[in-house]
Chain A
């Protein structure tokens, strides 16, 4: 029945009249990751061929002078060219048919890991006026040191009329707690002539950090149009972040932008910010013309779990009880999918403020006694119970995993961080990650990959933290898991729940792929996705894999996705989630692929960069696939 529903939705619905480009990080302004390309079907996708492959040279494994690179740049296909940002902050324009370089631009940006443990880039943005001429179409590249470079899309030459000779210093607006630059790792979101700029920072280090801001500049001149502050004025100096580091969605017809707002700082203690911060950990709708907040819906109150809203909401129209509803779906780290009316922010399905546990919370914080839960769709992760203990890991650890259950707290998704130690499930890396969902705008069906990871978080009193980290030279995080939250009474330690041999103490599957009918809130299927790999050994298929990066959906009913730990890119049958095709690439492909039609031929292009959260394997590979000629 479900297959019939999906097959009907995928094949019989009228194709939308849309250009078969891939013009944003999420495919289109609405962040659907849907391509009208029809050549790929579940029946023929097994015959995919690698038509070209490029190595950019912009890669570092961290063993030399440069920090490690993390490359998650979904390519942009627009105006007949394919555009990439690289982790060395260059722009590449390639011929989509051959992979040959048409031009490149080097921002000459510093290659220091100023705010992140690695050099990161998630790509570029594209704007066009629709006219012919120099800089009438532009590519925007952000850098770790907070500069936005704007070049002509045809030549790669700087657009001189934009800001200061084609380069905008966004850090000029970093005026409160400016401990680090406003890193531009996620490409800006462009709605009409507004370039909407969020930023990333250095989480887990400071309590007082740059407070969350969103800027809009004019696409031609770079002049500041508006700025939105996400932390109330009276407490801006005593906290920070609540920023937008992930991608956003936009509706060009209504000139609206929909933004996922992250949690305030510090991430795991909120005693310095007990006042209400209603815009933090929210999805917020903003008028891109004026910067006015039209509505906002908070998804976590007084967030002390680092449950940043971390992906662009996807916009689509749904049919609910026979009526067409303008909607969005917001996927989250905490495993819930929030389906909202995008004009009002009102939930389309049931919304409940439910009491959550407070026992174990540290005395100098003031947690919210309730948190919002939705009645539908069902979450990707069980929000009341952790996965069971892995027998294999438990036996091999002499019962360590079982003993941990008695040591650490867990009473569901919002169990307070504690000095005793708290299991975080879903963990700080999800649930669902910044890849977000792919949505079929014809049917209202959403597809999403999710991880099942258990972390252990322990708050450590400042004095003890200083002693531990000075004795062990563990200060500042990294593999040790110690992070300072400087300026708060608590440092913390955050680790995966592994046994001594590095095996997960919890049962799989560690990653799944799901489809949801957003018209009804039903889950249509959930299947293990990807393959976990440890020391080179591949684990059984039904264990799945943690994932980073999202799926892309085609009109022909095929899902393309990298995302998994085992460095394979895959094609799935959208109707069932069944894997149809895969290919080995140089590292985990932690970028959403791009699907487009160029000169009559459909292509899917994967950026293969790796991410140390999955495994320490990096690359600089771009791979394009198409059906045989």
Chain B
């Protein structure tokens, strides 16, 4: 198990839960908006990717794939920033940082 990826998945899952809340709950300012659904979908993808990396990663050390996943996290965080949802973008920022750390450190640990 890759612990940094797991922590990244936990952060992304938290963002997903917050995203679902603001998308469904009334009077959040973004209830039911396309932007909220975009962030929900992005956070769900981030969670899934990080979980896969933690437990059963099919992509090997494909740098491009890992980088694209990181970019996805960053863009989802930016989208959440434009929704003015600090809980989501802070959680996704942590997920992104942990993901980068996983690529940089976790990868080396595995190779060692």
Q: Is the CB of B79 within 8 A of A586?
A: no
- Contact A537–B27 (Cβ < 8 Å): no
Q: Are B26 and A535 in contact (CB under 8 A)?
A: no
Point out the residues of chain B lying under 8 angstroms from A535, CB to CB.
33-35
List A601-628 residues whose CB lies under 8 Å from chain B.
Answer: none
Docked complex Cα distance between A535 and B32 (Å): 9
Which B residues from 28 to 42 make CB contacts under 8 A with A? 28-30, 33-36
Are A537 and B29 closer than 8 Å at their CB atoms? no
B55 within 8 A of A: no
Interface size on A, residues (CB 8 A): 12
Q: Does A242 contact B (CB under 8 A)?
A: no
Main secondary structure of the interface of A (DSSP, over half): loop
Q: Are A537 and B83 in contact (CB under 8 A)?
A: yes
Contact A536 B27 (CB under 8 A): no
- Chain A residues, Cβ within 8 Å of B57: none
Prevailing SS type, chain B contact patch: loop
Given A535-B33, A535-B34, A586 and B26 contact (CB-CB distance below 8 Å): yes
Complex Cα gap A253–B96 (Å): 68
CA distance A351 to B84 in the complex (A): 46
Q: 1/0 contact trace for B68-112 toward A, CB 8 Å?
A: 000000000001001110000000000000000000000000000
- The distance in angstroms between the C-alpha atoms of A174 and B39, with both chains bound, is 54
How far is the CB of B42 from the nearest CB of chain A, in Å?
13
Interface residues of A in 530-586 (CB under 8 A from B): 533, 535-539, 566-568, 584-586
Q: Which residue of B lies closest to A617 (CB)?
A: B31
- Across the two chains, which residue of chain A brings its CB closest to B34? A535
Q: Which residues of A contact B28 (CB under 8 A)?
A: 584
Interface centre among A533, A536, A585, A586 (most CB of B within 10 A): A536
- Closest chain B residue, CB of each to CB of A585: B27
Q: Are B27 and A538 in contact (CB under 8 A)?
A: no
| Nearest-neighbor residue (CB-CB) of A615 within chain B | B33
Residues of chain A lying within 8 A (CB to CB) of residue B27: 584-586
Give chain B interface residues in 13-58, CB to chain A under 8 Å: 26-30, 33-36
Instruction: Provide the residues of chain B in CB contact with A566, threshold 8 Å.
Output: 29
Shortest C-beta distance, A131 to chain B (Å), equals 43
Residues of B with C-beta under 8 A to A538: 82-84
Query: Are B29 and A584 in contact, with the CB atoms below 8 A?
Result: yes
Contact present for B79 and A537 (CB under 8 Å): yes
Q: Which residue of A lies closest to B37 (CB)?
A: A536
Per the bound structure, the CA–CA distance linking A568 and B28 in Å amounts to 11
B26 touches A537 (CB 8 A): no
Q: Which residues A511-538 have CB closer than 8 A to chain B?
A: 533, 535-538
Instruction: Mark contacts of A576-600 with chain B using CB atoms, 8 A cut-off: 1 yes-contact digit, 0 otherwise.
Output: 0000000011100000000000000
CB within 8 A of B35: which of A537, A567, A584, A586? Answer: A537
* Residues of chain B contacted by A568 (CB below 8 angstroms): 29
A533 to chain B: which residues have CB within 8 Å? 29
Instruction: Give B23's nearest chain A residue, CB to CB.
Output: A536
Question: Closest CB of chain A to B22's CB: distance in Å?
Answer: 9
In angstroms, Cα B84 to Cα A539, docked, is: 10
**Which chain B residues border A567 with CB–CB below 8 Å?**
29
Closest to A567 in B: B29
Chain A residue numbers with a CB within 8 Å of B35 are 535-537
Contacts of A539 in B (CB 8 A): 82
Q: Which residues of the partner chain B approach A586 to less than 8 Å between Cβ atoms?
A: 26-27
CA distance A585 to B82 in the complex (A): 18
Contacts of B26 in A (CB 8 A): 586
Residues from chain B with a CB closer than 8 A to the CB of A584 are 27-29
Expressed in whole angstroms, the Cα–Cα distance for A585 and B29 within the complex equals: 8
| A536 proximity list for chain B (CB < 8 A) | 29-30, 33-36, 83
B residues at A contact (CB < 8 Å): 26-30, 33-36, 79, 82-84
Known A-B contacts: A566-B29, A584-B28. Give 4 more (CB < 8 A).
A535-B35, A537-B83, A539-B82, A586-B27
8 interchain pairs (CB within 8 A)? A535-B34, A535-B35, A536-B35, A537-B79, A537-B83, A538-B83, A539-B82, A586-B27
What 9 A-B pairs come out closest when comparing CB atoms?
A536-B33, A536-B35, A536-B30, A537-B82, A535-B34, A537-B35, A586-B27, A535-B35, A584-B29
